[in-house]
Structure 1
Amino acid sequence: MNTSCTAVVKFSLEVITLPVSDVDRALRFYADQVGFTLDVDYSPNDAFRVVQLTPPGSGCSVQIGRGLTNAPAGSLRNVYLVVTDLQDARRRLLERGVEVGEIRHKVPIGTWDGAFAPGLDPARSDYASFAEFSDPDGNSWVLQERGYRNV
């Protein structure tokens, strides 16, 4: 008798913990500069604080705080934020004081080997154009364009 379940297990990524050194500074950066929505700021005592923020349109949030992780501040690398218009997203972040790197795209697209060229992908292909920024602690983010023509 086979007792194994054939149902698909669904996994939902909903929270990423960002290791930061100064919770208030990180909160100001993510809420005021990057534009994430503040969902929770809870601190029942001096040893524990959880601040949860959600990027606009995202089903996944980030948490910063005290007592959440023992990872070194700034050690998280290359968390992707997917946007429909990379030029616009980069411009808006720059206007809000976020230092965002130059836009680059994969080359050659069809047989990509890890090389990049400056600027947007000429065809605006999904997943082909990028720009990076970091928070005050050095946690790094990658903006990636997808669905430019589907807006």
Structure 2
Amino acid sequence: MLALEVVLLPVTDVDRALAFYTEKVGFALDVDYHPTAEFRVVQLTPPGSACSVQLVPADLPGGERNLYLVTTDLAAERAKLIDRGVAVSTVRHKNPVETWAGGWSEGLDPQRRDYASFADFADADGNTWTLQERGHRAS
């Protein structure tokens, strides 16, 4: 068995990124270990995830692209993020889903099929995240 447990996320300001991910995106703070001025470990976990991110200092912003956060309700998750002040793109879905070759249409997939609907956001350093819907069940 192999499990992805931690992804390193390069940021130019650890404190700013920590506030963004905990206050706006809703990640849980696991560790903020800072025994010296030169050494700090900050680890966060998205709600419901078994994989965490560690914020690591970087000289240049925008190191990671298209990290995926999977949700069962893309519309609700997008609304929560926007309410918290996160700039989230409009929702798009694969078109046509059955023979997808890179085409998109606006909005949620009308049938809410797995892996068909997406939206994106970025942190202040340009690390980009893709929200993807999987497992949606009509209420």
TM-score normalised by length of structure 1? 0.88
The C-alpha deviation readout for 1:27-61, integer Å capped at 9, x for no partner, is 00000000000000011212221100001100000
State the alpha-carbon separation in 2 of the partners of residues 61 and 93 from structure 1: 19
Moved segments of 4+, more than 4 Å? none
1:138 maps to amino acid? G
The C-alpha deviation readout for 1:54-100, integer Å capped at 9, x for no partner, is 0110000000034xxx6843210000000000000000000000000
By how many angstroms is 1:138 displaced? 0.4
State the alpha-carbon separation in 1 of the partners of residues 46 and 135 from structure 2: 18
Larger gyration radius, structure 1 or structure 2: 1
Matched, 1:33 2:21: no
Matched, 1:24 2:12: no
2:44 counterpart residue number: 53
2:94 maps to amino acid? K
State the alpha-carbon separation in 2 of the partners of residues 123 and 71 from structure 1: 44
1:131 counterpart residue number: 119
2:135 counterpart residue number: 147
For structure 1, the residue ranges without an aligned partner over 5 or more in a row are: 1-9
How has the CA–CA distance of structure 1 residues 37 and 141 changed in structure 2, closer, same or farther, with 3 Å as cutoff? same
Percent identity reads 60
C-alpha RMSD of matched pairs (Å): 1.4
Q: Secondary structure at the match of 1:52?
A: strand
TM-score normalised by length of structure 2? 0.95
Report if aligned partners of 1:48, 1:65 keep a CA contact under 8 Å in 2.
no
Report if aligned partners of 1:20, 1:65 keep a CA contact under 8 Å in 2.
yes
Number of aligned positions between the proteins: 139
